[in-house]
Amino acid sequence: MATLAFPARVDATSIADLTHLVCGHRGEDLTIDLAQTERLGGLGGQLLHSALKTWRDDGRVLTLSNSTDQLTVALERLGLVSAISTEEPRS
């Protein structure tokens, strides 16, 4: 399983590079390490939500690890907590 560490800021300035990196792991199990992520913009939330759905639809596992309290607050503000925390890989 590959691990991809997200930067402190996941917003419009970093989204193109992160999207490219995440898509480069499509077809394999992936862990996204959020330990350093302090700021998550709307585009970052969309990327995470889309990646979780894509990995699930592909029958692969995508795990979000080391989420910070700040990130949880950002996900709540974006209305994504339930979508992200309830995503599970298919059996």
pLDDT digits (tens, 9 = 90+) for 26-50: 999 999 999 999 888 889 999 998 9
Kindly state the tokens that stand for 60: 């692969």
Which regions of the chain are under pLDDT 50? Answer: 86-91
Q: What is the pTM of this model?
A: 0.83
pLDDT at site 87:
44
Can you list the positions of beta strands (E) in the chain?
A: 2-5, 9-10, 30-33, 39-40, 62-65
Closest to 22 measured CA to CA, from 48, 45, 40: 48
